[in-house]
Structure 1
């Protein structure tokens, strides 16, 4: 009797994957099934989960969904095969131990209801015994043997042999072990080769951005995600032809022959016919299947990498330093249509707006400066936020001149900063913007958004669909659902990490708080507008449809400044207030005296206040919160200063050292805005003297950095930068330079430094000459 396989439960599999105890997984799964969110579990249920962090929890949540879908599909497949009366013990075991959806489908393939195939028609015509006979005895002459199987449905020997071949080909194509083995080998040994879709297409201007891929090949396993998505975009646009190759066909022929029981070396009459069958089984069925599988794996891996890059950049951008509650002048630059101007007060409320026309064709420079000067004086403006789009440097020059004039009078001048416009137009035309700013023109709404982004990037960016923010790597080539789920999680984690002011937060911001839906967010704002500001967290329970469960999930992340209870402005959850009272009773001091007293708080032992419900992790978090209640985890605000007179790519020269802002981080490097309307690229190889596997180890979106210009290609609008300020530059194409040849070595110049790779070997850092190729390899063509 065959022993039933020991099938691991979903919880056991998750515990093994995450390298944690099964009890931790089981507890977390119960919380998730009960409607708890990841931020809530990570922050307020540490005792239950064993202090799993938000990254582990996100992975657990994602894998839980996959494994449950796998189990559901496995159950359905077993039931289907059982209904057909074909479920054997061995087959059940194979299905129960299958660890992926694709493995389940491979096993199910021979039993899956399908339209009549050529092999099925051949079986119905009685040709399966012919196939088996030729397999069993290759000494038979195929044509002679086939004569025994002629009937009304089989006209001649050729037709009989063709039908028998279809049966054998299908048999090979539906063998789960063979399918799995050929897919694995195809992926391990295979490569992607690209070429122009046609000679005519290759000559078109649209095809030039893909010309580095006209003759290109790379192994599947080594091909980075950005190149996969780049060539797939080229294929989608009709520029490139993609060919997936699996290596030596003879190896696959041997695998097919072994599965079917064919000796390809036998000198027998039926061997040529059997050999042709093997080749067709590989070429027509198995190779196609393996190629499709490899293509899917390439795309999925590339998408996962692209989503991970986007998620990291989005998190950095959302958690960028806020300028704070300061009156801000927002400028949305433009030439012909003018510069749109909006003034927002410390709370983000619009208090003034207009348009000025300092640039061509109107050239009202002095008049524009006077208008801005009057606004600054009237509203006591602290900050000037300038959008980084068209005419941004010209507008920045206007602001610089105005600030210099103000300082010359001995008056305190505002601080200016360049702000990313990415997604601002999406917000301006959105339904929410129309509801929030109904009396303002769409163009002015953009200036308002730019000003608010400087005050609080997180609060403003949550109003925009994440994929429109523009900090991704080929995000438009990623499956929308995959991208949306990941980015939604990033936004949720960022919002809850910072906390939300309950009395000022917008509907989009509130809707990202743990446990708060869009409708609940609207209800909270409506209640706030009708009854006035919330005085305490308990008042949330008076909001229609906000019950105890939603209150449990959201209360700890909502802050009330200057409310009835000082704890309401902290990250201490209301359910834990009794712990604070217990601390106060034992300490013999008031809450006002304890809050912020670092010495007193650090002298307390968390174990003395822990109980069955609130353990040491929670008490430790409470004491940390009381040290700095409502602290903002984001960094201090700082701005970059762009070089005067450097306003376009042609103004750049190799060797310049500039200050800039990281706008995007990709797998191959980081894009930096140095104030010339075209971001430059710091390739990953130019980020440090040590080996860098992930650019996020060195920089993040929004970071102010100093870079050296390595090379400039004015014709192609490409800028090569380095974070290593001792690197040797070169000039490329267009604007002077040396036509792309390596820069001549200066007398006394040091040999480029070495860096150490992951295996500990020293390898030379790329020179400026090789940087051009690095840029092309990176798919640099923004």
Structure 2
């Protein structure tokens, strides 16, 4: 089975079987995905972390499929029913659905009506009537009437025979696959409102009478309808014949069943009985079975899409540009309880805290100004981070005015505070700041996440960062697994300074467990900074395998070995020495010598130990040692005087920050406490199939306000700055109703509904 798995994965990834085989071996040997992607390129011929993650996931599925296949073969063999043909079919099955279809007739189950009928001796009757329609059912059934066996009359005999045939049809793997393929192509998912739930379920009104191809339902609409069903507002049904004449008494699928068995149903004596068998089998057994399967597949597909959206957004947030090691003042805005202020130095060390009250109800502008002026002067603050929660715009306005009056050119940045409260109340924060008020810890987090989003956000459960779509409706296990992989890949892509990294950050480094990370910090606290990577081997419980996996991702700045601050792995240090010798340069003179390194040819230094791919990678790393893959730091400038949704007017052009990207568009923060939606059709003048082709979370963009609904807190935006609200409305009116499928949440929220954002958002259409 292993060979077939390798071949399948190779086809799915469109790579050579040898690459897959090597990657599987490396994974089985306990190597991490970041390590394989970064330091085993030679072996895998360049498989990247995305391909390896997909391979890892599919490998688990295919191995589970193989294990299930073995169990099924053993079960059928023990029953003495395993024919060579059946064995071939089971071995060839490529999905769990196909495998379970084949196993269905042999699967141990509770006594059914069909089994009871077989025990009563009715199987010959079923076979006779099914294969010879010239037989008269009542006459043929008469000899099978045996009251002692529960067959009281001919009707009972015919009912039993029908039950036998219904179960045969429902367990015919070939028939099920034929019907499954038809439903994939033609069936629709129909949603209707439960009577009496119209008012209570108003948020689902877009689906009160809705249907669309079940194979093409976007994930956000699927999850919205599934949530509506779970809340008792909607009824969902699989409609196999959406275009069928309502007057028709026979389903297209019933006709397909007859054709599958090459039955010509006419006026023969047993044809009416055979038609009943087919109709009952379809409506009572097969349709219910396939509807359950399709609904489960729809949910799984929608969940996977939603998880992928969350993962993509999370990666963008984690890989956002860091402001760098600059003294930063963080403000967690508030009203009644005041604004919490914390100052941290360039390394994130807490220097000072305070609570100020510049906003309602106190409006203590003078007192708040004195505190901030004192902090800025005494700590030489060069950045101010303002959380984007309650009173954020009022607080930012106060800070901006203060800086202007004091003639200070300090950059003020609005920072997402999603998850800050989670961190504040966490055990980690309590251990880090045992004597600090919980609310003040949030201000520290806000300041630090501006300095280095990745280093700070790894302390928070990724699910709390709030860039997901329907995150509470999806498998929490699968979501956590996917997000953890994203965090791990991001941390290792950037690299970690081992002498300043926190335990949570170190935990995300390839090969390090939570215990190892804590031991590194404890060792550092007791023995001082690490001067080289080799010293890591002295850390308790950090053995050779863990060292192999983590060493290349841990940086030792200003250490004894210049290579330790780069991404060059210790195992390739001999290669660097070889290059240095052949170029007559010292190793430290080689590091960063871009001109020389770019003139070298990898093949000239390749050997049996280090191939050309590895050499090229080392040369690239030496040219830009420890390079940070994250973009340059830049921020949006919110418009003055635009603090609330009521300040927005259609036609305004504003600058904002993309906070979330979904399948149907992007949400943009323009500084009014409520994110606006740029529908996918308004992202560009060209056709856009995936919003991430145009924007990602954290991007600074220019938008035009198309519509404002203050009562419903909805803002329609366009990135096509030539659009006008009037033209947009006219286009919407001319647009066919069937095409107006703009679906969006009521607000930018991880738990928001994926329903239509009113017809206004459908107006942001393609020109």
TM-score, normalisation: structure 2 = 0.94
- Give per-residue Cα distances to partners, 1:521-555, cap 9 Å, x unaligned: 11111111111111100000001111111100000
Post-superposition shift, 1:413?
3.2
- Give per-residue Cα distances to partners, 1:720-752, cap 9 Å, x unaligned: 11111111124xxxxxxxxxx9657xxxxxxxx
The aligned runs of 1:632-781 (5 Å cut-off) are 632-730=628-726, 777-781=742-746
**Residue of 554, 563, 567 corresponding to 1:567:** 563
State whether structure 2 residue 350 is matched by structure 1 residue 350.
Answer: yes
State whether structure 2 residue 19 is matched by structure 1 residue 24.
Answer: yes
The aligned runs of 1:575-654 (5 Å cut-off) are 575-654=571-650
Pick closer, same or farther for the CA change 1:384–1:579 going to 2, 3 Å.
same
The aligned runs of 1:37-436 (5 Å cut-off) are 37-151=32-146, 152=148, 153-198=150-195, 200-204=196-200, 207-247=201-241, 248=244, 250-260=251-261, 262-264=263-265, 266-407=266-407, 412-436=408-432
Pick closer, same or farther for the CA change 1:767–1:628 going to 2, 3 Å.
farther
**Residue of 487, 491, 504 corresponding to 1:491:** 487
Counterpart CA distance in 1 for 2:460 and 2:656 is 25
Post-superposition shift, 1:139?
2.2
**Residue of 23, 28, 34 corresponding to 2:29:** 34
- Structure 2 SS opposite 1:171: helix
Post-superposition shift, 1:141?
2.2
Pick closer, same or farther for the CA change 1:661–1:770 going to 2, 3 Å.
farther
Which residue of the partner structure matches residue 518 of structure 1? 514
Pick closer, same or farther for the CA change 1:377–1:106 going to 2, 3 Å.
same
- Structure 2 SS opposite 1:9: helix
Which consecutive aligned stretches of 4+ in structure 1 deviate over 3 angstroms post-superposition?
Answer: 258-262, 741-744, 766-776
- Structure 2 SS opposite 1:612: coil
Counterpart CA distance in 1 for 2:100 and 2:436 is 56
Post-superposition shift, 1:776?
6.5
- Give per-residue Cα distances to partners, 1:675-696, cap 9 Å, x unaligned: 0111000111111111111111
> Which structure 1 residue ranges, 5 or more long, are not aligned?
1-5, 731-740, 745-765
State whether structure 2 residue 415 is matched by structure 1 residue 450.
Answer: no
Which residue of the partner structure matches residue 760 of structure 2? none
Counterpart CA distance in 2 for 1:223 and 1:663 is 25
Post-superposition shift, 1:773?
10
Counterpart CA distance in 2 for 1:614 and 1:728 is 60
Post-superposition shift, 1:767?
5.7
Post-superposition shift, 1:162?
1.2
- Structure 2 SS opposite 1:311: helix
Counterpart CA distance in 2 for 1:387 and 1:219 is 43
Contact 1:186/1:291 (<8 A) preserved = no
Contact 2:597/2:619 (<8 A) preserved = yes
Counterpart CA distance in 1 for 2:344 and 2:683 is 38
Contact 2:679/2:742 (<8 A) preserved = no
Counterpart CA distance in 2 for 1:7 and 1:413 is 64
- Structure 2 SS opposite 1:300: helix
- Give per-residue Cα distances to partners, 1:347-368, cap 9 Å, x unaligned: 1111111211111222212211
- Give per-residue Cα distances to partners, 1:224-271, cap 9 Å, x unaligned: 11111111111122222212211155321122224455432x212221
Contact 1:668/1:778 (<8 A) preserved = yes
Bigger mean CA offset, 238-247 vs 550-559: 238-247
Counterpart CA distance in 1 for 2:732 and 2:254 is 46
Contact 1:384/1:414 (<8 A) preserved = yes
Pairwise CA RMSD: 1.8
